[in-house]
C-alpha cells in the first residue's frame, strides 16, 4: 500500500480528515449572499477544507494566495490569470479589452497557460484590480455566483495602506460574488474584520477553525494504521498526544511512522524514532529560522520549550507580552488560552540540539 498520509499541500480525497460540521457551515454561508472570513493558525487545514466545500457546490471558483502577490498590479494580474483559466477567452475578451488599463495577455508555450501583466505605468494604480474584480462580477450569474477565495488575506496590509479601503469600496457593490477571506495571523485578521476603524469591519460571517476533535482524528489515523499493524490504537493515540491534534503535524508524523512500518521497524519507540528523523531532516531549516529571531524572543522560546514559565525570562512584562504576540503573529506560537508551539518538532530541535 502507498503511504496514506499527506502534508505540505492542499489535502484532498482520502487524505482529508473529516471536518463535516465546518464544511457544512461553509456551504451554508456561501449559499446565502454573505461573505465568509475564516481564521486559524497556519497549517490547520483551512484551505483544504474550503476548497473541498466549494468543490462540491458546482460554482465557479477563483482562488489566490496573497503570499505570492508582490504589488497591487501583480494582485490584479494574478487574479485575472485565474479568471481566464475559469472562462473561455471568447466570453471575456471584450470585457478585458475595455479595461481602463489594458493588460498584456500572452499564451505561455511552456505551461500552456496564460501569462498576464500590466504595464509599469499601473504600478501604484488600483484601477486594474478594480476592473478585474468588476469582470468577475459581470461574468457571474445570480443563480450561480462566483466564489472568490483570497488566502492569507492579512497580507493585504503589506500591499498599501489605502488598499483595504479601495477593495471594500469595490466589493460591497458586487451582488453575484461570494468572497472568502482566509488568514493565519489572528491578530492581524481580527484588526481587519473586527476593528471598527477598519474598512472591512463586519464584512463577512466570521469562523474560527479549531483543531480537529481528537475522536475524529483518532478514527482517521486508526482506520489507516489498522491495515498494517496490530498496534494501531496505541500508535494513533501516541501520535495525537505528541501533536495535540494539529492537522499538519499529525499528518507528517503519521507519514513518518507509516514509513517505519513499511520498513518493518515498528516497535514501542516508533513515534520517538519518527520524531528524531523529522528533527534531523529539518535541522538546517530550523537553524536558519532560529537565526532570524531576535534574542529576546529566543529566550521566550527556550523557556516555553523547557517548560519554564515565561515570567522566568529576565525582561520587563511589557517586553514579554510584545514578544509573545510577535511570535504568534510570525507563526511560531499558537495562543490557546496559553501560548504553545505551532511546530512541536521545532520545539524538540531547541531542546535536543540547542540545549543538548
Helix and strand element counts for the chain (H, E): 15, 9
Percent of the chain with pLDDT over 90: 60
- pLDDT tens for each residue of 256-290: 999 888 777 566 678 999 999 999 999 999 999 99
Taking residue 307's Cβ as centre, other Cβ atoms within 10 Å add up to 7
The mean pLDDT value of the chain amounts to 89
- pLDDT tens for each residue of 55-83: 989 899 999 999 999 989 899 999 999 99
Strands (E), the chain: 36-39, 61-65, 104-107, 114-117, 146-151, 177-183, 205-208, 333-336, 338-341
Question: Between 121 and 180, where is the model more confident?
Answer: 180
Pair 78, 72: CB distance under 8 Å: no
- Burial category of 50 from C-beta neighbours within 10 Å (exposed 0-12, middle 13-18, buried 19 and up): buried
Q: What architecture does CATH give domain 284-354?
A: Orthogonal Bundle (1.10)
Q: Give me the pLDDT at residue 122, please.
A: 59
Give the span between the Cα atoms of 238 and 221, in whole angstroms.
11
Q: Give me the pLDDT at residue 270, please.
A: 86
Q: Give me the pLDDT at residue 90, please.
A: 75
How confident is residue 205, by pLDDT bands cut at 50, 70 and 90?
A: very high
The CATH classification number of 18-208 equals 3.40.50.300
Q: Give me the pLDDT at residue 280, please.
A: 95
Q: Give me the pLDDT at residue 318, please.
A: 93
Residue 179 pairs with which residues in a beta bridge?
A: 148
Mean pLDDT, rounded, for 178-190: 92
On the question of a common fold for 18-208 and 284-354, the answer reads no
Strands (E), 194-277: 205-208
How confident is residue 142, by pLDDT bands cut at 50, 70 and 90?
A: confident
What three-state secondary structure class fits 109? coil
86-90, 199-203, 256-260, 343-347: the lowest-pLDDT one: 86-90
Q: Where are the domains of the chain?
A: 18-208, 214-281, 284-354
11-25, 100-114, 220-234: the lowest-pLDDT one: 11-25
Nearest CA-CA partner of 179 in 38, 70, 41, 55: 38
Q: Give me the pLDDT at residue 10, please.
A: 59
- pLDDT tens for each residue of 159-175: 988 999 999 999 999 99
φ, ψ of residue 338 in degrees (nearest 5): -115, 175
How confident is residue 11, by pLDDT bands cut at 50, 70 and 90?
A: low
What three-state secondary structure class fits 346? helix
How confident is residue 327, by pLDDT bands cut at 50, 70 and 90?
A: very high
- pLDDT tens for each residue of 117-128: 887 665 668 899
Q: Give me the pLDDT at residue 103, please.
A: 85
Q: Using H for helix, E for strand and C for coil, what is the string for 17-77?
A: CCCHHHHHHHHHHHCCCCCEEEECCCCCCHHHHHHHHHHCCCCCEEEEEHHHCCCHHHHHH
Does residue 14 have a pLDDT over 60?
A: no
How confident is residue 41, by pLDDT bands cut at 50, 70 and 90?
A: confident
Amino acid at each position: 500500500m502507498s503511504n496514506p498520509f499527506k502534508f505540505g499541500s492542499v489535502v484532498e480525497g482520502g487524505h482529508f480528515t473529516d471536518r463535516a460540521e465546518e464544511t457544512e457551515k461553509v456551504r451554508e454561508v456561501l449559499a446565502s449572499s454573505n461573505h465568509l472570513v475564516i481564521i486559524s493558525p497556519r497549517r490547520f487545514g483551512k484551505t483544504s477544507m474550503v476548497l473541498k466545500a466549494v468543490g462540491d457546490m458546482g460554482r465557479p471558483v477563483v482562488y489566490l494566495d496573497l503570499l505570492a502577490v508582490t504589488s497591487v498590479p501583480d494582485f490584479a494580474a494574478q487574479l485575472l490569470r485565474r479568471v481566464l483559466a475559469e472562462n473561455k477567452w471568447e466570453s471575456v475578451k471584450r470585457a478585458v479589452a475595455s479595461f481602463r488599463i489594458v493588460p498584456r495577455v500572452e499564451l505561455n508555450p511552456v505551461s500552456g497557460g496564460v501569462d498576464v501583466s500590466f504595464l509599469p505605468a499601473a504600478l501604484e494604480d488600483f484601477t486594474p484590480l478594480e476592473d478585474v474584480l468588476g469582470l468577475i462580477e459581470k461574468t457571474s450569474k445570480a443563480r450561480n455566483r462566483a466564489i472568490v477565495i483570497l488566502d492569507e488575506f492579512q497580507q493585504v496590509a503589506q500591499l498599501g495602506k489605502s488598499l483595504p479601503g479601495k477593495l471594500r469600496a469595490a466589493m460591497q457593490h458586487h451582488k453575484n460574488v461570494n468572497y472568502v477571506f482566509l488568514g493565519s495571523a489572528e491578530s492581524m485578521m481580527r484588526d481587519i474584520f473586527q476593528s471598527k476603524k477598519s474598512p472591512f469591519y463586519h464584512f463577512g460571517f466570521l469562523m474560527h477553525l479549531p483543531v480537529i476533535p481528537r475522536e475524529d482524528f483518532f478514527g482517521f489515523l486508526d482506520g489507516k494504521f489498522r491495515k498494517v499493524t496490530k498496534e494501531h490504537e496505541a500508535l494513533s493515540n501516541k501520535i495525537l498526544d505528541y501533536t495535540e491534534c494539529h492537522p499538519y503535524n499529525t499528518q507528517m508524523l503519521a507519514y513518518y511512522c507509516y514509513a517505519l512500518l513499511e520498513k518493518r521497524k515498528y516497535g514501542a519507540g516508533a513515534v520517538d524514532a519518527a520524531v528524531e528523523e523529522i528533527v534531523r531532516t529539518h535541522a538546517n531549516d530550523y537553524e536558519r529560522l532560529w537565526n532570524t529571531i531576535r534574542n529576546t524572543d529566543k529566550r521566550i522560546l527556550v523557556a516555553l520549550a523547557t517548560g519554564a514559565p515565561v515570567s522566568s525570562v529576565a525582561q520587563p512584562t511589557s517586553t514579554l507580552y510584545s514578544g509573545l504576540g510577535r511570535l504568534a503573529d510570525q507563526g511560531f506560537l499558537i495562543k490557546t488560552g496559553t501560548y504553545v508551539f505551532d511546530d512541536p518538532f521545532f520545539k524538540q530541535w531547541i531542546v535536543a540540539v540547542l540545549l543538548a
